[in-house]
Amino acid sequence: MARLEFFFDVVSPYSYLASTQLDALAARTGAEVVWRPFFLGGVMKAVGNVPPASLPARAPYLFRDLMRWGRLYGVPISLPPVFPTLTLTAQRALVAMPASEIPAAAGRLFRAYWGSGRNIGDPAVLADLLPAEALAAAATPEAKAALVAASEEAVRRGAFGAPTMFVRDEMFFGNDRMHFVEEALLVP
């Protein structure tokens, strides 16, 4: 069975968009999708990248582009009132969860932030969206180390932003590369 590793941070709108396509992609290809939370801020700092929305010439285009993708995919998307927000606690909680629970939990976070504009950097919002045990685990040294390790692994493998996906050793960046991801998953 083919395997797709999906490195993401819930602060990333393009990770949100790509995440909405993963179930259908897995159904079409028979692939196993492994959700890999990482910390986008740490990845970008490690490689000297900057958020596209921080570039005055790019930000207006970015927001129009997101709306186009939302229409294409048939998913709600809007610019949250607090953008960007700090997702360190959310990402640590995700990385501390059993792998089988990550897709549903990340989906709740994505929809709350990108679909409803809720500030997922707010502890009260996180408490409403994630299990208490995951939030408690987010504060542990183990969760902190696991998130650092996932972020460092992604950088070692070539990541510079989110989403970053791997099929075997082939890297794909961005939700607009899903057709190439699918093609790679179908290669024996």
Domain contains 61: yes
Mean pLDDT of 116-124: 97
Instruction: Name the pTM for this structure.
Output: 0.97
Q: Is the pLDDT of residue 1 over 90?
A: no
What value does the mean pLDDT take over residues 93-116? 98
In a domain, 136, yes or no: yes
Q: Tell whether 175 is covered by a domain.
A: no
C-beta pairs of 123-127 under 8 Å, 24+ apart in sequence: 123/89, 126/89, 126/90, 126/93
Range of the domain at 124: 38-159
Domain CATH code at residue 65: 3.40.30.10
Q: Is residue 70 part of a domain?
A: yes
Tally of structural domains, the chain: 1
64 exposure class (CB count in 10 Å sphere: 0-12, 13-18, 19+)? exposed
- Are the beta carbons of 112 and 125 closer than 8 angstroms? yes
The tens digit of pLDDT for each residue in 58-82 reads 888 999 999 999 999 999 999 999 9
What was the pLDDT predicted at 172? Answer: 98
Residue 54 lies in a domain: yes
Q: Residue 128 domain-assigned?
A: yes
